[in-house]
Amino acid sequence: MDYRVLDIDKKLMQEAIKARENAYAPISNFRVGAAILTESDEIIVGANVEISSFSPTSCAERNAIFSYFSGGGRHFTKIAICGDDDNTFPCGVCRQVIYELSPEAIVFIVNEDSSYKVFNIRELLPNGFRYEL
């Protein structure tokens, strides 16, 4: 999408790269970091956490978003994601979570070398399901 990147976006992307260091991924060894930008320009980070019975494993994106919501936050506008592979895109479940909680969210897919791609969540989850809350 056509988007002019701001200084705060660059900071958000750097925080996602840094957050990846906190990943607990003993099973896949694939680390992911995420950082969300809140309505008050606060940055909240998350990293993936893996559990050996698999289903409790939690993605970086959801850890960041749920940390924010469970602290009482409700509005975030942007999310940056950095995985161990170049161009690590959010999984389908995380796309649904992002869309449902921030239907206009801007998504930055960031690489270790700070290169990035920008999307609107609607591009990543076309015709997504959502109740009008």
Pick the piece of the chain touching ligand THU (CB under 6 A) from 58-66, 68-76, 103-111, 114-122: 58-66
Interaction of residue 16 with ligand THU, rule CB under 6 A: no
Interaction of residue 51 with ligand THU, rule CB under 6 A: no
Interaction of residue 60 with ligand THU, rule CB under 6 A: yes
Strand order in the sheet with 76-83: 43-47, 32-38, 76-83, 106-110, 116-120
Applying CB under 6 A, among 85, 87, 91, 112 the residue interacting with ligand THU is: 91
Interaction of residue 90 with ligand THU, rule CB under 6 A: yes
Which residue from 96, 84, 106 is spatially nearest to 127, judged by alpha carbons? 96
Applying CB under 6 A, among 19, 94, 97, 107 the residue interacting with ligand THU is: 94
Q: Establish whether 39 is a catalytic residue.
A: no
Looking only at the bridges linking them, the beta strands covering 32-38 and 76-83 are antiparallel
Q: Which two tokens stand for residue 64?
A: 């960041």
CA–CA gap between residue 43 and residue 128 (Å, rounded): 26
Catalytic residues: 61
